[in-house]
């Protein structure tokens, strides 16, 4: 498991590419990378609920795309059962 540790998205994308060369890394866990900025902005009244949710969703989506681009996941790959 690759931990985000509040790293910027571009650093995590680089780490994903490095980790793609090993079969030991099976996933990533992030939190603060996604919500820290939104939480600060939202709690200070500088961001609406909708903007906070949209921003966090976009960050998560970007990280998922970076993970897939690093060849850890084939987005169109089907399971053995065909699902």
Question: Tens digits of per-residue pLDDT, 50-68?
Answer: 999 999 999 999 999 999 9
Average pLDDT, the chain: 87
**Is the pLDDT confidence value at 23 over 60?**
yes
**Is the pLDDT confidence value at 39 over 90?**
yes
Return the number of other C-beta atoms located less than 10 Å from residue 70's C-beta: 20
| Of the candidates 30, 25, 23, 38, the residue with the CA atom closest to the CA atom of residue 9 | 30
Average pLDDT over residues 4-15: 91
Q: How far apart are CA 65 and CA 61, in angstroms?
A: 6
Question: Model pTM?
Answer: 0.76
């Amino acid at each position: 498991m690759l931990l985000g540790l509040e790293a910027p998205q571009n650093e995590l994308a680089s780490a994903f590419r490095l980790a793609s060369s090993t079969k030991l890394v099976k996933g990533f866990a992030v939190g603060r990378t996604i919500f820290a900025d939104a939480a600060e902005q939202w709690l200070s009244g500088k961001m609406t609920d909708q903007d906070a949710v949209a921003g966090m969703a976009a960050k998560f989506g970007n990280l998922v795309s970076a993970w897939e681009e690093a060849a850890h996941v084939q987005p169109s790959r089907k399971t053995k059962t065909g699902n």
